[in-house]
Every structure is written in structure tokens, then in C-alpha cells.
Amino acid sequence: MASTPTFEYYNDAWAAKMIGRRSRRGIDAYLGVEVTEFGPGRLVAGFDVTEDLITMIGNMHGGCISALVDHCLGVVMYPVMPEGSWAATTEFKINLLAPVSKGRVEATAEILSMTRRLAVVRIEVENALGPDSSQRRMVALAQGTCTIVAPKGAA
Amino acid sequence: MASTPTFEYYNDAWAAKMIGRRSRRGIDAYLGVEVTEFGPGRLVAGFDVTEDLITMIGNMHGGCISALVDHCLGVVMYPVMPEGSWAATTEFKINLLAPVSKGRVEATAEILSMTRRLAVVRIEVENALGPDSSQRRMVALAQGTCTIVAPKGAA
Amino acid sequence: MASTPTFEYYNDAWAAKMIGRRSRRGIDAYLGVEVTEFGPGRLVAGFDVTEDLITMIGNMHGGCISALVDHCLGVVMYPVMPEGSWAATTEFKINLLAPVSKGRVEATAEILSMTRRLAVVRIEVENALGPDSSQRRMVALAQGTCTIVAPKGAA
Amino acid sequence: MASTPTFEYYNDAWAAKMIGRRSRRGIDAYLGVEVTEFGPGRLVAGFDVTEDLITMIGNMHGGCISALVDHCLGVVMYPVMPEGSWAATTEFKINLLAPVSKGRVEATAEILSMTRRLAVVRIEVENALGPDSSQRRMVALAQGTCTIVAPKGAA
């Protein structure tokens, strides 16, 4: 099956700085998204399903998962692009597989294809349950496209 | 082009109650989502782009738009289903067309196809700018599928 | 709802030449695809559901519709791009709504968003039945993204 | 990453009969699609890129790949459903990564999630080149949803 492409660039220092860092603003801050693993073309990021995220029906809104997917799509691109480049989430498609009401939500994003202009990223989202997060089930599957914008003045 | 299907059911009272109502919990509460129009198979919902939603880069996170799309997908289904039915967002695809940094974000959702088990919904998202929200540009286009679950005991 | 963007270029002569012309090779030739209407950012194309296209189960293979969608995605772009440009179908998403077993299949493609690099196209596919094709029902809805590649040497 | 779910049913005899068999009608017959591997929730199917499939531009029409994806989506479901069930391709999303002009096109389809009513299938399409098909590159990535219809009279 799909082998991750090799990457010409990889800004290890930038990736390392992202681990465990939380945004102070924006929807990723609201959700409490944290990157826990980062490598060339691959990251793991997630958040705890707190009471605040649960709707009156008793489940977490699916929008929390699609926002996480959107977030990962952009972040996974940064360290593999030439410095000064910009990655825009052009589009993505997501299947929501099962409701989530507790535990932790964790997305694994992988760049499966990358050219100078476009990348295709696949994201799998699991719900981790149990005291040690060892019970895991797939709750969403996504596939998205990022457009890479070269820095001004680049060839 | 696509004509909206006719609907066997329409719970006008439920739809009317949704207008202007805000959730107290969940990501739609965080965003401040409000339904402003509701009809059979169609709704308009949106939120103001407040400072809190803007990331360090100066734009709103795309995840706010995908969460809005996900929200509309579920809500537009309710009044057209037999009472006690449940609509699950099975999947959606979204194209993000332009960055948003101010004004209001407004989604128009339309059910384009509906059977006893499945519905296809199309969502267009605009950014409304200017004192009277009269400057509008398309910022996202989405298409999604909802699964309709009949109440227990139904034929 | 969505207003078609205005287009800087429109090669009316090229579009006019496409009307009624059939390919001699490739899957569009196999299907017998013919463009019947063409305008700036919009086309109608279709084919007759011949016996050859019907599988043992008695319906046309859904792949015929997805091939038609893919075809329209590329063709609708040509007259609105600067001469020498190339449009690649980056991705699309399609919902198949109902089986098709006779009559004619007709797709209406519309460019809903276009920048120098990307365009988003929406396609609606109908099955036309009856002696004058007047009975129509929606059989597929699609949304896709085209990447525009400028001619070599262009700014 | 994603582990294939376990399947309650698997009709090994039906799957075995599909290996190497070609349809006599429909778009899969035109393409010459052949299943070469079949297991519970997974199949490999492909076709040779013959001269007939090449358009005037010199590449194979992307519609051939989307038709193959659509075909695999349906076929992979059959052996894992209770006898008499029907699988309809509800929707799929495909990214086309690179042009194809020769060799063989081969899709690997995997069911990643399955309930009584719905399944999510992922498809990776490679172009195999060289005398022993050993040079392979990814040319498309897809994700789709099938609706499972139980036989009439089933609980």
C-alpha cells in the first residue's frame, strides 16, 4: 500500500518546537489541540474530550473532528516545504464513523503525495479510551489537498 | 439546475424555534452559530468573525468553516424527517476558497436529494462584509451525505 | 446561492467547435460523450445509455457517470484559461443518487470559483427519459477541483 | 494506522470465482478490468493501458481510473455481506496524482470501516511499469462510502 514519499526538505527544529505547544487563539486553542509526534510528512495531534465539547445530545459535535482534520492538514505541511512557503488547505473529505463522548481524540496525518504545487494528505482519527488510552477505535477517515505557495521571488 | 426535492414531512414549529437560538455548549456555542432562515430542506446559519477566532497569522482557522458546515448538515435534516428520526453526518467534502478575517460567515444549506435512508446536502459559505453585510464573497463550497435512522420500532 | 464568477478570457470559437463533436479515442469515445451547450464557465454534455453500457445486473455501471464527470471537469476549463494553459483534474467527489438503465445521461458543469491556479467546478447529472427527454431526475452530484498550469514562460 | 475491521461473513467461494474473470458488458469490460487478489475486505484489480484508452493528448483519460475505483468499491463489498445483500456506491472522492500513458493500472481497495448499513473503503491506484511491472508509482487515492441494503425480509 501507500508508501510515504521522500521529502527534499525537513525542518526538524520547527517540528520539534510544535510538540506539546498549544495555541492561545483560534479554534485549535478552544479544542486544546496538541501535537504529540512529528516526523517528515507525518504527525499525530489530538485533544481531550472535555465536558465543554459535549452537546445537549450527549456527544461531541462532529465539527470538532473536522476542525482537527483541517488543522493537521496545514501543520503537517510546514516542515517539508522550502522556508517561506505557505500551505493552504484547498479541500478535504471526511467520513465520520462513530460518535465520540469521552476520552481523547487523536489524528494521525500523513502526506501521501507531494509535488512543488500540491500535496495529498490522509488523516485517520481515533478515539482513545481507558486509563492508559489503550482502547482505540477509528472515528473518522479523511483525505485532503493542500496547495503550496512558494515564497515571493522564488523561481 | 438542481431543484430541491419536495418533502413529505416538515416540522415548521421546530424549525421556527431554531431561528436565533444559540447553543449553550459545544463548538457551535463557541462559534456563536445562529440560524437566521429555515424552510423545507433549506437553512441559512452563520456567526460573526470575532477576535477570538483569529489565529496568530491574522485569519480565521478553516476549521471554523468546516465545523459550521458539519453543523448545518445535521440541523437542516431535522424538520423534514419523521418524528423520532435521527440524522447522522456520514461524510462531507469541502473546498475552502478564500481566507476570512472579519465580518460574518454565513452558510446556506440545501437538501438536494433525499430517500428514506440518505440525503445529500449542498452548502455554500459566504463572507459578508461592510456595514450592512452587503459585500459578499464565496469562501467555501461543500457537499455532504446524511444517514437517516428511523425511530426504533418504525416499519 | 452561488453566482458564477466572471471570466477574464473566453475562447468562444474553441467552445463552439466542441459542440456535437465526438472523440475518436478514449473513454469519452466509448461512452459517446457529446457537448450540447457551452458558455463561459458552463457546459452541458451527455451520452445515450446504450445496451453496451448495461451490466448483467441490468443497470449502467456508476463508473460511466464518474467518467463523464471527470471529462466535463477538464473540458469546461479550456475556453476560460489563457491560451496554452493546461487544466488538470486534481480531485473530485461524487454522490451517486439513483441507478440508470435507459434514456440519456446529461451533466451540467459550472465553474463556481476560479483563481489563477485553481478552479472549483460543480456538476449535476440527470437521467433524461421519455420520447422528448422531458422526464428528468437527478442521478449524481459532484464537486471537483482543477489545477491550472500556465504555459511555459508565462509570468 | 488503520487496521482492517474483522468481518462476520466472508464468501470465499464467490471471491475466488472473481479472480481473473472479465465482464462481457459494461465499462469494466471496455477497460478489461480483472481482479487479481481477493481477501476479506481487500482486493486488487487492474487493467492494461491499451492504445484504445489513450486520448489525442497522449495520456489515458482520468475517467478510466475513476471508473476502476467505482468498480472496486462495489466488488470488494460482496463477499463480506450476508447473502442476498446489495451494496450501492453512495459516494466517493478521488485525487488524481499523475498522468498515465502506458503499463498497467492497479487498484488496491480496502474496507476500513463497516457497520450493518455503511462501509468506508479506501482505494490506492498505482501505475505499474517495466517488463515485470516492478516500477510502481501512485497515480490516484480515493475514499468512498457504500450503503448496504439487506435482503428483503431480513430483520
Domain boundaries, chain A: 12-149
Please answer whether residues C95 and D91 qualify as being in contact, where contact means their C-beta atoms are separated by less than 8 angstroms.
yes
For helices C62-75 and D62-75, the axis angle rounded to 10 degrees is 150
Residue of C113, C118, C124, C146 for testing the chain B interface, max B β-carbons within 10 Å: C113
Nearest to A63 by CA among B107, D5, D146, D2: B107
Q: Do B52 and A25 touch (CB under 8 A)?
A: yes
Q: How far is C103 from chain D (nearest CA, A)?
A: 16
CA dist B127 and C131 (Å) reads 45
CB pairs under 8 A between B and C: 44
| CA C111 distance to own-chain centroid | 11
How many beta carbons lie within 10 A of that of residue C23, not counting itself? Answer: 17
Q: How far is A143 from chain B (nearest CA, A)?
A: 9
For helices A62-75 and B62-75, the axis angle rounded to 10 degrees is 150
Q: What is the mean pLDDT of chain B?
A: 93
> DSSP readout, C28-73?
HHHHT-EEEEEETTEEEEEEE--GGGB-TTSSB-HHHHHHHHHHHH
Which residues from D are below 8 Å from C64, CB to CB?
A: 27, 67
Q: Do A147 and C91 touch (CB under 8 A)?
A: no
Quote the pLDDT of residue A116.
92
Quote the pLDDT of residue A5.
82
Widest distance between CA atoms in chain D: 53
Point out the residue among D95, D113, D145 whose CB comes nearest to the CB of A120: D95
Quote the pLDDT of residue C155.
52
Point out the residue among C26, C62, C91 whose CB comes nearest to the CB of D93: C91
Nearest to C127 by CA among C118, C119, C137: C137
Quote the pLDDT of residue A108.
98
Point out the residue among C90, C93, C120 whose CB comes nearest to the CB of A118: C90
Point out the residue among B97, B120, B138 whose CB comes nearest to the CB of C141: B120
Is the pLDDT confidence value at A7 over 60?
yes
Q: In which band, very low, low, confident or very high, does the pLDDT at D131 lie, cut at 50, 70 and 90?
A: confident
Range list of β-strands (E), D9-117:
34-39, 42-48, 86-96, 104-114
Q: Do C90 and A117 touch (CB under 8 A)?
A: no
Q: Do A63 and B62 touch (CB under 8 A)?
A: no
Query: Three cell numbers at D145?
Result: 462510502
Is the pLDDT confidence value at D1 over 60?
no
Tell me the pLDDT tens digit for each residue of B34-64.
999 999 999 999 999 999 999 888 999 999 9
Residue of B23, B25, B27 for testing the chain A interface, max A β-carbons within 10 Å: B27
Superfamily of domain D12-149: Hotdog Thioesterase (3.10.129.10)
Tell me the pLDDT tens digit for each residue of A103-137.
999 999 999 999 999 999 999 999 999 888 889 99
Q: Cα-flanking dihedrals φ and ψ of residue C43, to 5°?
A: -145, 160
Q: Do D122 and A113 touch (CB under 8 A)?
A: no
The complex's ipTM works out to: 0.94
Query: Three cell numbers at B117?
Result: 435512508
Which subunits sit against B, judged by 3+ Cβ pairs under 8 A? A, C, D
Q: In which band, very low, low, confident or very high, does the pLDDT at B2 lie, cut at 50, 70 and 90?
A: low
Share of chain A above pLDDT 70, in %: 95
Q: What is the mean pLDDT of chain D?
A: 93
Widest distance between CA atoms in chain C: 53
- Tell which wins on pLDDT, A139 or C130: A139
In chain D, which residue's Cα lies nearest the Cα of A95? Answer: D120
Tell me the pLDDT tens digit for each residue of D62-74.
999 999 999 999 9
The answer to pTM > 0.80 is yes
In chain D, which residue's Cα lies nearest the Cα of A110? Answer: D1
Which subunits sit against D, judged by 3+ Cβ pairs under 8 A? A, B, C
CB pairs under 8 A between C and D: 113
Q: How far is B118 from chain A (nearest CA, A)?
A: 14
Quote the pLDDT of residue D3.
64
Tell me the pLDDT tens digit for each residue of D143-154.
999 999 988 776
Q: Which pairing describes strands C118-129 and C135-149: parallel, antiparallel, or unpaired?
A: antiparallel
- Tell which wins on pLDDT, D87 or A2: D87
